[in-house]
Amino acid sequence: MARFDFDVVVIGAGPAGAAAARVAAAAGARVCLLERAVLPRYKTCGGGLVGMSRDQIGAAGLDWADLARAQVDVLTMTLDGRLKVTRRRRDGQPILAMVMRPELDAALVDVARAAGAEVRTATTVTEVRDAGTDGVAVAVRGGPDLVASVVVGADGTSSRAAGYVGVRCDQVDVGLEGEFRVPSYLAARWERRMLLDWGPVPGSYGWVFPKFGPEGDVLTVGVIGSRDEGPALRAYYERFVASLGIADLPRQHDSGHLTRVRADGSPLRRGRVLVAGDAAGLLDPWTREGISFALRSGRLAGAAAAAAAGGDPAALGTYPDRVEAVFGSELAAGRVLLGLYSRRPELMHMMMSAGPGGFGLFNRIIDGRSTIARQLRRPGVTAAVAALSR
């Protein structure tokens, strides 16, 4: 009888979990991917793919363009609904590609399954605990425990695995979002266009993303900001929707969700349990973009888990260092920019409105050709940020 039910159990079938399962299975590990819902399932998410996300999806063997409901190359920006400015990207590349998360997640899970992972849906994890003899037990509702050599927790912001590991988060935000079914004339108005509104609540912003498909055309509209400002964010969201003239249109979904950013020094591992993606609090503190963080950290976790299950326990110990090397500077830079933006949102609007230079830099960062961290290391930028932060 096998010592463990599986070499690696991955909890959560979002981008982080699917990436971890695919990489671990491709490395030869016996992998089980657990998901509490039945796929495809709805996930509250803006669904904008930045360059790093598109690269990671391509590396998984998928064509991101086939998954995209829209590609946008025109960006309109407003400052709390005022001072409207529009910029167009002219190099043939999208600013963002827009996806529906149920479709993206299902496609990533299919790739993990094709790599050899066993996928179990409608499976709720109730506990993660040490099983002794270098194993981890995963308790599931209505069934026997699963025992694995390594567990990867990718089960979102309310993660059981994160609770076991002891993940600490020092930034908690709430996103409010609706998907509005729009008539054809309104869909045509938003074709290849998106909107960002620098919001009135400190650190907040709003967005409009177009997503078109054979079953109907949708605008995803949302706002995000600190959970401490919940009532003000709700008022901002309702006012934002009304300003777009879509408040009375039918809504496919209208929901809220929390995002959490890990505190400096927060653990990413306890024994033979690793956390990745939202479960680890890995997302950009300013934009709250998390898909690229999930895909990248999931790959790191899957590789470490497979190596450890294959007889290299040191791989578990190096996982936090690898995550820090990849994401540490991004998280630190995002915190700096969020602090500055929270105090002076008009500066963001001024920079993006000033001319092609600011918009070009924005596109380089979105594409992954530059990073906020790299820009903040430039002497002139460092001095300007320090002065504006006083």
pLDDT at 1 over 50: no
Range of the domain at 350: 337-388
- Confidence class for position 383, pLDDT limits 50, 70, 90: low
pTM score over 0.85: yes
- Please report the pLDDT score of residue 358 as a whole number: 81
- Please report the pLDDT score of residue 356 as a whole number: 72
Is residue 180 included in any domain, yes or no?
Answer: yes
Each residue's pLDDT tens digit, 147-165: 999 999 999 999 999 999 9
Specify the CATH number for the domain of residue 105: 3.50.50.60
- Please report the pLDDT score of residue 354 as a whole number: 76
Number of compact structural domains in the chain: 3
Clarify whether residues 198 and 267 are in a common domain.
no
Each residue's pLDDT tens digit, 211-250: 998 878 999 999 999 999 999 999 999 999 999 999 999 9
Clarify whether residues 270 and 376 are in a common domain.
no
DSSP H or E stretch at residue 144:
none
pLDDT at 111 over 70: yes
Q: Which amino acid is at 291?
A: I
pLDDT at 374 over 90: no
Is residue 1 included in any domain, yes or no?
Answer: no
Is residue 162 included in any domain, yes or no?
Answer: yes
Q: What percent of the chain has pLDDT over 90?
A: 83
Are 37 and 61 in contact by the 8 Å Cβ rule? The answer is no
Clarify whether residues 315 and 353 are in a common domain.
no
Q: For the chain, what is the mean pLDDT? A: 93
Q: How far is CA 190 from CA 136, 194, 220, 244, 266, in A?
A: 49, 7, 11, 12, 41
Q: Give me the torsion for CA of 178, 184, 186, 187, rounded to 10°.
A: 70
pLDDT at 2 over 60: no
With both helix axes pointing from N to C terminus, report the angle between 345-353 and 314-343 in degrees, rounded to the nearest 10: 90
Final residue belonging to a domain, choices 226, 260, 294 = 260
Name the β-bridge partners of 75.
Answer: 87, 194
Name the β-bridge partners of 70.
Answer: 98
Q: Which residue has the higher pLDDT, 351 or 167?
A: 167
Is residue 277 included in any domain, yes or no?
Answer: yes
Q: Which residue has the higher pLDDT, 194 or 350?
A: 194
Phi–psi pair at 367, nearest 5 degrees: -70, -20
Clarify whether residues 58 and 87 are in a common domain.
no
What distance in Å separates the CA atoms of residue 2 and residue 327, rounded to the nearest whole number? Answer: 37
Is residue 140 included in any domain, yes or no?
Answer: yes
Q: What percent of the chain has pLDDT over 70?
A: 96
- Please report the pLDDT score of residue 386 as a whole number: 67
- Confidence class for position 385, pLDDT limits 50, 70, 90: low
What distance in Å separates the CA atoms of residue 225 and residue 244, rounded to the nearest whole number? Answer: 20
- Please report the pLDDT score of residue 384 as a whole number: 63
Clarify whether residues 274 and 147 are in a common domain.
yes
**DSSP track, 335-380:** HHHHHHHHH-HHHHHHHHHS-HHHHHHHHHHHHTSS-HHHHHTSHH
Is residue 158 included in any domain, yes or no?
Answer: yes
